Structure 1
Amino acid sequence: MPVRVVESSAPSQISEQDTSPGHTLPPPCTLLSVGRAFAGTQNVSSMQKDEAWMVNVRIQGCDLDYGYLCGTMEALNVPLADTPVVTFWEGEIVDTKNYTFYTGKWEATPEDDIRHWSKFPSFDSLLSQVEADGGKSMDLSNYPFIFMRWKEQYFVNVGIDCGLTIAGFYYVCFSCSDGSINGFYYDPNSSPFQKLELKSTNEGRSGFSFSSYQLQ
């Protein structure tokens, strides 16, 4: 069932009856489902040089009841790697029940959270409520964007000496209307605000392919 996009982009407040165990979570989106693939770039530029990696992402699992999803990410042109680097990541969907906008781990403070979420224009109307309570009192079930955190867990096909770090995580904003993904990587020891930009791909007609990997 696709996400219903409403005319207003402002979130509604959760009433007392909505906070019951049957409170509606963000409904499934056909563009955010198992098997969906995305392609784009991650800008990893630093003060010394401009650099961007080609990136492919595939969703391997999704359980909206628990605010969970997982998948693989493939970086194609990492300078120090002889082969594309594939990682397995797990994600938290900000649904205000299982997860809020405040990360509470991975060395991210509430100030870091606000700073990164505010990079997304679609977050502007949510800012004041998030600053008040992390967004706990909002109902995001009809919001046309889904906010997530993606945390890479391990390297799939290379060793830890591949030239990449997976110590950080991604703040992610997914558009329910076109399946586009924007994200910013957070790691205190890496270049700040590395931007991830992905588009949903139609593998059958665009010619885009994605390698298959056995996940243990």
Structure 2
Amino acid sequence: MPVRVVESSSPSQSSGQDPNSGHASPPSCSLLSVGRCFAGTQNVSSFQKDEAWKVNVRIHGCDLEHGYLCGTMEALNVPLADTPVVTFWEGEIVDAKNYTFFTGKWEATPEDDIKHWSKFQSFTPLLSQIEADGGKSLDLSNYPYIFMRWKEQYFVNVGIDCGLTIAGFYYVCFSCSDGSISGFYYDPNSSPFQKLELKCSNGQQLGFTFSSYELQ
């Protein structure tokens, strides 16, 4: 939710399986499940300023079979907002079955996709196969990282005049080993490569809590 400004295992490959029916779901991971919370920062630096917001994320829904998840994101120290700003987002899990590495919407071109995914070191072993066939023959079911796109849908507790934009989306990489999350925000009208860094904050039943909001 930025201000608008104007390492890895080798992947396996499927053997001729139908990409619409032969791919398994991403690895089941207890750290990516309903109720999990993550805390960290989003860097919103631009040429005029260097700033990082504190960010909390909670997972509210996760359906690996259909490549879907959703949650809320809370930015705590937004300069133009009197209170923490909460947004509701929906996610697409890249599994070569429901969603591929190519976004195909939200003003993102294939070149934008490759440029952003390549920011993740864990993506490097996948690149050659994606360049060859779009990644349709990749089997990511045992890969130690889960790649996703998060798209904020609406503001939960503030109006659209809060000084933020949710026009773009996040390229996200989730580590199944420790629950850490890295992400980069994409919006042609915002400063590029705003980095999101989160760590699981309730692995030992600890962490933060959100205020109570009703999601509709």
TM-score range, shorter chain: over 0.9
Q: Is the 8 A contact 1:18 1:24 kept in 2?
A: no
Q: CA 1:62–1:172 in 2, change beyond 3 Å: closer, same or farther?
A: same
Alignment of 1:138 onto 2:138: yes
Q: CA 1:203–1:83 in 2, change beyond 3 Å: closer, same or farther?
A: farther
Quote the sequence identity (%).
Answer: 84
Q: Is the 8 A contact 1:203 1:209 kept in 2?
A: no
Residue ranges of structure 2 left out of the alignment (5+ in a row): 1-6
Residue 166 of structure 1 corresponds to which residue in structure 2? 166
Q: CA 1:18–1:107 in 2, change beyond 3 Å: closer, same or farther?
A: closer
- For residues 46 and 179 of structure 1, what CA distance do their matches in structure 2 show? 28
Provide the secondary structure at the position in 2 that maps to 1:129.
helix
Q: CA 1:109–1:207 in 2, change beyond 3 Å: closer, same or farther?
A: closer
Alignment of 1:71 onto 2:97: no
Q: If the length of structure 2 is used for normalisation, what is the TM-score?
A: 0.92
Alignment of 1:43 onto 2:33: no
How far the C-alpha of 1:127 sits from its partner, in A, is: 0.8
How far the C-alpha of 1:28 sits from its partner, in A, is: 1.9
Alignment of 1:153 onto 2:153: yes
Which letter maps to 1:73?
M
Provide the secondary structure at the position in 2 that maps to 1:16.
coil
- For residues 196 and 156 of structure 2, what CA distance do their matches in structure 1 show? 20
- For residues 123 and 22 of structure 1, what CA distance do their matches in structure 2 show? 22
Q: Is the 8 A contact 2:8 2:144 kept in 1?
A: no
Provide the secondary structure at the position in 1 that maps to 2:126.
helix
Q: Is the 8 A contact 2:106 2:168 kept in 1?
A: yes
Q: Is the 8 A contact 2:103 2:113 kept in 1?
A: yes
Provide the secondary structure at the position in 1 that maps to 2:136.
coil
Residue 15 of structure 1 corresponds to which residue in structure 2? 15
How far the C-alpha of 1:26 sits from its partner, in A, is: 1.2
Residue 208 of structure 2 corresponds to which residue in structure 1? 208
Question: Alpha carbon RMSD of aligned pairs, Å?
Answer: 1.7
Say which structure, 1 or 2, has more relative contact order (CA 8 Å, 6+ apart): 2
Residue 62 of structure 1 corresponds to which residue in structure 2? 62
How far the C-alpha of 1:207 sits from its partner, in A, is: 4.9
Residue 118 of structure 1 corresponds to which residue in structure 2? 118
Which letter maps to 1:100?
T
Residue 180 of structure 1 corresponds to which residue in structure 2? 180
Residue ranges of structure 1 left out of the alignment (5+ in a row): 1-6
Which letter maps to 2:178?
D
Q: If the length of structure 1 is used for normalisation, what is the TM-score?
A: 0.92
Residue 52 of structure 2 corresponds to which residue in structure 1? 52
- For residues 102 and 74 of structure 2, what CA distance do their matches in structure 1 show? 27
Provide the secondary structure at the position in 1 that maps to 2:111.
helix
